[in-house]
Structure 1
């Protein structure tokens, strides 16, 4: 039997930044069977409080969240930090200054806030809807963050081909120094080397003395691929790209806004399937 499910949030679990009822009900059934449900997101922990409330994980002992693409692992009760891997200031500043060369919005996440430079109005609206703690900074200078805990930095543009072109141009600067991923078809993300949702899944399974083969990971985008590969059952939603579908053990019939997470729970937790994919 599977004992833990990790789920990406945007374009996987959520619809309009909330957990739809069909997914909530399925999660509650899984939890009744003793299965842990763990959000695994690129978001900050302070951005997911309402989501945790919707799945009844808010301020709960022995319930967990993975944030910043695996850079932060939290026990939800009192936001207890179990693991944090942040970006050194000098490396963050190098990527920040490099962002000047591209037509992108640059965002820096600390443990407490998201700072937005060269702001895209659509991104500001998105952060507002997400109820994120953020500040738009008019001056392109990040020196005020020198003594803060920087979790990650990302470039935002609603053009994936453009972002992929940036990665090719800067590959020599980031290779072996940063973990690079994409999310929400609008972000090119930079985390500390070794940080990924897959690594966080392995860490949490070990922390809970759980066999990783007893875990399910559900996602839709490239920052989810490491956990899709690492989990005992790696799942992607139907709208995922063909290459992500190819690496997944199971592709949902439903899309994220049609209850893809509920489908997985009903098939592999309620139905009890462990093999025969």
Structure 2
């Protein structure tokens, strides 16, 4: 099988514990792109927080793509243009805000390349550090969020957040796509939007078949794209539920996991 596309999650998958791509993995990614493989960064992160890495990996030079906000936006790195953009309406975001308040969890959204919330905590600080985006603490979330936005995240202690996830799915699961990414991040996007559905739209646009796609992940929000890939793979540090649906398990994100995937699935004779 000749694979034409590699799609990878970022945090705890492509990126090591220092938030970097190892030199060895970077070299392997370059080699794959030089041989015509399209490389896609697929993350819950905002586009803003993925641009530097896309430049570092020369995705613009090779015509590769960013799939950000859990699939809500797809960006062609060569042109810098979005080829897909799915948003939550202002009213939907306000509904999620009300749910968060009723269930004692923090909520953030993204407005004009800034993170918006009425709260600030160690969990929100993680997102600010990961994305390097400006943070704006506001007094009235609904008043400030006066237009459509791409997604929301609810944040709280992991065990409690699992309970909130169940309740959110029960009450509003028919209105939104809902997934835990990091244990303390509950991500909400437009109904029907996830990494898998958006990946299929991109592949269809490029004339790439599902069995020509390698996907690499580690966590729950990667499940939709792992399920649509011909070759679902994961890093060794992935959650057990993720390993159970993968055909190839690589080394960890701290041990050049991407290189092993590329060497074994792209270049192995």
User: TM-score scaled to structure 2, two decimals?
Assistant: 0.93
Pairing partner for 1:264 from 253, 261, 266: 261
Contact 2:6 2:215 in 1 (8 A): yes
| Alpha-carbon separation, structure 2, partners of 1:86 and 1:10 | 23
Residue 20 of structure 2 aligns with which residue?
18
Task: Give the superposition deviation at 1:2.
Answer: 0.4
Residue 204 of structure 2 aligns with which residue?
206
Contact 1:108 1:153 in 2 (8 A): yes
Residue 75 of structure 2 aligns with which residue?
74
| Alpha-carbon separation, structure 2, partners of 1:210 and 1:246 | 25
Residue deviations 1:193-251, cap 9 Å, x none?
A: 11011111111110101111100000000100011110110012112222211111122
Across the two proteins, how many residue pairs are aligned to each other? 267
Residue 30 of structure 1 aligns with which residue?
32
Residue 106 of structure 2 aligns with which residue?
105
Q: Pick closer, same or farther for the CA change 1:46–1:80 going to 2, 3 Å.
A: same
Pairing partner for 2:44 from 42, 45, 52: 42
| Alpha-carbon separation, structure 1, partners of 2:159 and 2:239 | 14
User: TM-score scaled to structure 1, two decimals?
Assistant: 0.90
| Alpha-carbon separation, structure 2, partners of 1:113 and 1:265 | 35
Residue 153 of structure 2 aligns with which residue?
154
| Alpha-carbon separation, structure 1, partners of 2:183 and 2:48 | 22
Provide the secondary structure at the position in 2 that maps to 1:271.
coil
Residue 233 of structure 2 aligns with which residue?
235
Provide the secondary structure at the position in 1 that maps to 2:67.
strand
| Alpha-carbon separation, structure 1, partners of 2:127 and 2:92 | 25
Provide the secondary structure at the position in 1 that maps to 2:153.
strand
Residue deviations 1:21-74, cap 9 Å, x none?
A: 1210110111121111110011111111221122112x4473211001111011
Provide the secondary structure at the position in 1 that maps to 2:108.
strand
Task: Give the superposition deviation at 1:107.
Answer: 1.1
Q: Pick closer, same or farther for the CA change 1:223–1:53 going to 2, 3 Å.
A: same
Task: Give the superposition deviation at 1:268.
Answer: 0.3
Alignment of 1:248-259 (within 5 A): 248-252=246-250, 254-259=251-256
Alignment of 1:107-126 (within 5 A): 107-110=108-111, 112-124=113-125, 126=126
Ranges in structure 1 where 5+ consecutive residues have no aligned partner: 273-277
